Amino acid sequence: MSTKAIIIANQTQARFLVWDNSAPPEESNHPLQDIQTLDNPITTTSGKEVWANLQSGRNRGTSSQAHGYDDHRQNHLDEFERRFCNAIATQALALIDQYKIRTVILAAPPQVLGSLRRETEVLWPTTQHSRIDQGSGETIKF
């Protein structure tokens, strides 16, 4: 038996749990430990703190006629998500080192899972990825 890390993540929050299944179930009252929770900083800030103009793609001209444009807001939102996934992967790596974890179980929605996979491939280049069930989780063995 070994210690496993369980990471449950979505666009707003990531929870890190550790499960030590080396002790028999009758001896362990709380085998699942909640270690840390990370919050995505972009979801806790108001729109006024992030964007100069809260409405995307609209502006008033001098003749009171509205005209549309692309302010590339989606590119910024994608970068915020990438940074949050990088923070999750970095924290997971610290957790792996601290608890000598050999298996990480990652549960996330498909969009977040794709971003997390890209970040873990950069930060954890020597890992083996094996998918348990598409869309429901991924197991990473070390």
Query: Residue range 108-119: average pLDDT?
Result: 89
Tokens at 131, concatenated: 């998918």
Whole-model pTM over 0.85 = no
pLDDT on residue 131: 56
pLDDT on residue 135: 47
User: Is position 28 within any domain?
Assistant: yes
The answer to whether 111 and 82 have CB atoms below 8 angstroms apart is no
End-to-end distance of the chain based on CA atoms, in angstroms? 15
User: Is position 86 within any domain?
Assistant: yes
User: Is position 32 within any domain?
Assistant: yes
Length of the chain equals 142
Q: In this model, does residue 87 exceed pLDDT 90? A: yes
Q: Which domain holds residue 90?
A: 3-54+70-141
Structurally, the chain folds into a number of domains equal to 1
User: Is position 120 within any domain?
Assistant: yes
CA atoms of 50 and 38, how far apart (whole Å) = 19
CATH number at residue 95: 3.30.420.60
Identify which has the larger pLDDT, 15 or 129: 15
User: Is position 65 within any domain?
Assistant: no
User: Is position 16 within any domain?
Assistant: yes
Return all residues near 74 (Cβ < 8 A) that are at least 6 apart: none
pLDDT on residue 68: 62
Rounded-to-5 percentages of helix, strand, coil across the chain? 35, 30, 35
